[in-house]
């Protein structure tokens, strides 16, 4: 039976409110800044068939889209009608969910009149999962921490005690890790209460009919957007640092009617260290890139996924085979939306953005503070996003992950840290008619009397974010320290206690020829410190009078004439 539009809108809004309440309860009760402040989580509601119907507005594509495909695996292990009230499932299997052991998925069946009518699930990044800690220098998943298969966390409301004890004994921060798992349970329980409340209000026994309507409409809308693209193959390749040698990510987008396939054949094979990516995570960020380019207004659920297919050679970098090391998988996976948009750049020049810093800079430190207490802390930092037609890139903003920056005051209260500087990097955004977003600079000191471990999962230190349609690349990132020690971007290191580490994050690529940028916009950038007078003159062709901060129109006209002529002669 079809649901009329008004009723559907109301029910849809209530579903979104349910998932938002689910996520909010988790965040507000969380033991860690990773979840509470950075919002490194996802929450969603699933029907009896394991299809994701709605998601919370907060959450990363790597979590939500991987969880969406992972629910089918969880229900294959525990069929829906075998579950009992009070059961809660858990896994961090990288090949079934978010491609990294630190990301733990907790799923709770919801019962009405004695029958399971839905499943609520969330996925969070755990502060610690044992092993080497959050790093990319492992050589197999066995080194990366505790591997939890799909199993029961609660059995009819009772803790599965051996599992809780195993987790407690295998992580460096048991209070925070177990605390957040409790919060994941609470978040699902709160969402279940909201879901049952609105089902009672509308006299519904389950969400199956509503789910069919949402899935069918979302699929039809997605197919309509794909069908509007001309049939054909669209290709792009993007170079990233990798380890000792660069990695070239290659994609071919194949449009056939209302179906779109993204094929990563030609991308690298597996690497011996931990940046390999499982296929579900590859698909998660590929789908997100497609959605951003052509269908940002279409709900993200099982229906919108159906017209999209992601393929990569088995055992390759983007379809890693067990037991490949995957701890730093985001250092590859986060670039995939830029690869997708690069492929669509000519077909949809007004809908795509240039590549940005893309891969989050994750910093993990551990050691003992000056009172001899052990500490282990992780935070995420963002560089600049790419520009697009009509819009400058965003500075110090995490795209495509959506992770929020954590305030310095919070960081310093949770770990023995002093952040001496946190500022935007002038000139780091790629010049263009629309400028790439700026990276940020951080100076960090750890308050300890002993050597401490630092692990930095950093990308774009050698290969900058390229521009699109004549835009220039952003600046690469750099890392240094007060001791002059040689730090490698993806390898753990021990640092002396009085070391100050400096992180300079990459900027995003520009869009369009720089000399086309409005001269007054360049002047504003100079006044704000985003662009130096030298870059304004040499790259944008705008001469700034620094005495009264105005544009020298005569000099600008001459410089821009020369830049225009040089561009047309290329």
Place of tokens 């029961």: 152
Task: With cut-offs at 50, 70 and 90, classify the pLDDT of residue 373.
Answer: very high
Domain-located, residue 227:
no
**Rounded alpha-carbon distances, angstroms, from residue 449 to 219, 395, 416, 452, 559:** 58, 35, 11, 9, 55
If asked whether residues 406 and 537 sit together in one domain, one would say no
Task: With cut-offs at 50, 70 and 90, classify the pLDDT of residue 321.
Answer: very high
- 374-429 pLDDT per residue, tens: 999 999 999 999 999 999 999 999 999 999 999 999 999 999 999 999 999 999 99
- For residues 60-84, give the mean pLDDT: 96
| Predicted local distance difference test score (pLDDT) of residue 1 | 52
- For residues 18-26, give the mean pLDDT: 97
Longest dimension (CA), the chain: 80
Predicted confidence (pLDDT) at residue 2 exceeds the cutoff of 80? no
> Mean pLDDT score of the chain, rounded to an integer?
96
Q: How far apart are CA 267 and CA 153, in angstroms?
A: 38
448 within 8 A of 497, measured Cβ to Cβ: yes
If asked whether residues 203 and 71 sit together in one domain, one would say yes
Between 174-201 and 161-170, two packed helices, what is the crossing angle to 10 degrees?
140
- 151-206 pLDDT per residue, tens: 999 999 999 999 999 999 999 999 999 999 999 999 999 999 999 999 999 999 99
- For residues 306-330, give the mean pLDDT: 98
| Predicted local distance difference test score (pLDDT) of residue 566 | 87
Domain-located, residue 341:
no
If asked whether residues 492 and 561 sit together in one domain, one would say no
88 within 8 A of 153, measured Cβ to Cβ: yes
- For residues 292-301, give the mean pLDDT: 96
Q: Express as a percent the part of the chain with pLDDT over 70.
A: 100
If asked whether residues 493 and 525 sit together in one domain, one would say no
If asked whether residues 501 and 531 sit together in one domain, one would say no
Q: How far apart are CA 187 and CA 34, in angstroms?
A: 16
* Closest C-alpha to 511, from 428, 411, 390, 395: 390
If asked whether residues 528 and 486 sit together in one domain, one would say no
Domain boundary among 166, 190, 218: 218
100 within 8 A of 110, measured Cβ to Cβ: no
Place of tokens 């966390």: 153
If asked whether residues 161 and 28 sit together in one domain, one would say yes
Report which of residues 3 and 534 the model is more confident about.
534
| Predicted local distance difference test score (pLDDT) of residue 134 | 87
If asked whether residues 17 and 49 sit together in one domain, one would say yes
Domain-located, residue 312:
no
If asked whether residues 186 and 102 sit together in one domain, one would say yes
Domain boundary among 512, 530, 558: 512
Place of tokens 């970098």: 317
- 485-505 pLDDT per residue, tens: 988 999 999 999 999 999 999
- 236-271 pLDDT per residue, tens: 999 999 998 999 999 999 999 999 999 999 999 999
| Predicted local distance difference test score (pLDDT) of residue 157 | 97
Domain boundary among 490, 512, 534: 512
- For residues 132-139, give the mean pLDDT: 90
Peptide bond into 400 cis (omega under 30): yes
- For residues 104-124, give the mean pLDDT: 97
- For residues 452-458, give the mean pLDDT: 95
If asked whether residues 438 and 555 sit together in one domain, one would say no
Domain-located, residue 428:
yes
Task: With cut-offs at 50, 70 and 90, classify the pLDDT of residue 443.
Answer: very high
Task: With cut-offs at 50, 70 and 90, classify the pLDDT of residue 568.
Answer: confident
324 within 8 A of 309, measured Cβ to Cβ: no
- For residues 507-535, give the mean pLDDT: 97
- For residues 536-545, give the mean pLDDT: 97
Tally of domains within the chain: 3
The sign of the dihedral angle between the CA atoms of 291, 294, 298, 301 is negative
Q: How far apart are CA 293 and CA 283, in angstroms?
A: 15
Q: What are phi and psi of 356, to 5 degrees?
A: -120, -160
- For residues 329-351, give the mean pLDDT: 97
If asked whether residues 380 and 456 sit together in one domain, one would say yes
| Predicted local distance difference test score (pLDDT) of residue 567 | 83
Peptide bond into 457 cis (omega under 30): no
Domain-located, residue 324:
no
| Predicted local distance difference test score (pLDDT) of residue 287 | 97
Domain-located, residue 125:
yes
| Predicted local distance difference test score (pLDDT) of residue 135 | 87
Predicted confidence (pLDDT) at residue 59 exceeds the cutoff of 80? yes
Q: 164: domain range?
A: 5-218
Domain-located, residue 65:
yes
If asked whether residues 504 and 531 sit together in one domain, one would say no
- Region label for 460, one of left (φ > 0), alpha (ψ between -120 and 50) or beta (otherwise): left
Predicted confidence (pLDDT) at residue 53 exceeds the cutoff of 90? yes
Domain-located, residue 443:
yes
Q: Exposure pattern of 274-286 as b/e (b: 16+ CB <10 Å)?
A: bbbbbbbbbbbbb
């Amino acid at each position: 039976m079809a649901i009329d539009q008004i009723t559907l809108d109301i029910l849809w809004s209530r579903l979104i409110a349910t998932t938002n309440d689910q996520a909010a309860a988790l965040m507000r009760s969380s033991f860690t800044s990773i979840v509470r402040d950075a919002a490194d989580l996802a929450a969603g509601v699933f029907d009896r068939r394991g299809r994701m119907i709605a998601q919370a507005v907060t959450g990363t594509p790597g979590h939500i889209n991987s969880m969406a495909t992972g629910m089918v695996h969880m229900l294959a292990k525990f069929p829906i009608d075998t579950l009992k009230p009070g059961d809660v499932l858990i896994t961090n299997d990288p090949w079934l969910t978010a491609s990294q052991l630190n990301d733990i998925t907790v799923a709770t069946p919801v019962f009405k009149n004695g029958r399971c009518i839905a499943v609520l699930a969330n996925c969070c990044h755990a502060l610690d999962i044992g092993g080497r800690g959050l790093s990319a220098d492992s050589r197999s998943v066995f080194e990366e921490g505790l591997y939890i298969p799909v199993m029961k966390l609660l059995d009819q409301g009772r803790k599965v005690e051996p599992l809780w004890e195993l987790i407690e004994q295998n992580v460096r921060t048991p209070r925070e890790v177990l605390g957040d798992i409790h919060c994941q349970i609470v978040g699902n329980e709160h969402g279940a209460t909201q879901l049952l409340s609105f089902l009672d209000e509308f006299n519904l026994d389950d969400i199956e009919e509503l789910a069919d309507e949402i899935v069918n409409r979302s699929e039809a809308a997605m197919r309509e957007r794909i069908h509007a693209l001309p049939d054909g193959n669209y290709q792009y390749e993007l170079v990233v640092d990798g380890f000792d040698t660069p990695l070239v990510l290659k994609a071919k987008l194949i449009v056939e009617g209302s179906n779109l396939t993204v094929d990563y054949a030609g991308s690298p094979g597996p690497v011996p260290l931990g940046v390999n990516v499982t296929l579900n995570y590859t698909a998660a960020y590929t789908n997100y890139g497609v959605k951003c380019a052509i269908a940002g207004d279409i709900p993200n659920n099982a229906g919108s996924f159906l017209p999209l297919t992601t393929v990569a050679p088995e055992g390759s970098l983007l379809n890693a085979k067990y037991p490949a090391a995957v701890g730093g998988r985001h250092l590859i996976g986060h670039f995939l939306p830029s690869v997708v948009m690069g492929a669509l750049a000519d077909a949809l020049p007004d809908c795509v953005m240039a590549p940005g810093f893309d891969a989050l800079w994750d910093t993990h430190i551990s050691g003992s503070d000056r009172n001899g207490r052990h500490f282990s802390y992780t935070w995420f930092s963002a560089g600049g996003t790419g520009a697009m037609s009509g819009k400058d890139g965003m500075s110090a903003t995490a795209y495509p992950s959506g992770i929020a920056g954590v305030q310095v005051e919070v960081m310093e209260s949770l770990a023995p840290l002093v952040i001496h500087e946190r500022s935007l990097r002038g000139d780091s955004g790629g010049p263009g008619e629309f400028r790439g977003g700026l990276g940020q600079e951080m100076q960090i000191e750890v308050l300890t009397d002993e050597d401490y471990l630092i692990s930095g999962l950093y990308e774009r230190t050698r290969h900058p974010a390229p521009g699109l349609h004549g835009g220039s690349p952003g600046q690469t990132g750099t890392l240094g320290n007060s001791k002059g020690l040689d730090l490698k971007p993806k390898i753990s290191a021990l640092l002396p206690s009085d070391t100050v580490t400096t992180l300079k994050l990459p900027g995003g690529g520009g869009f369009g020829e720089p000399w086309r940028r409005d001269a007054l916009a360049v002047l504003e950038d100079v006044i704000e410190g985003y662009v130096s007078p030298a870059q304004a003159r040499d790259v944008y062709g705008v001469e700034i009078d620094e005495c009264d901060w105005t544009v020298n129109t005569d000099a600008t006209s001459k410089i821009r004439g020369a830049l225009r002529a040089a561009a047309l002669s290329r």
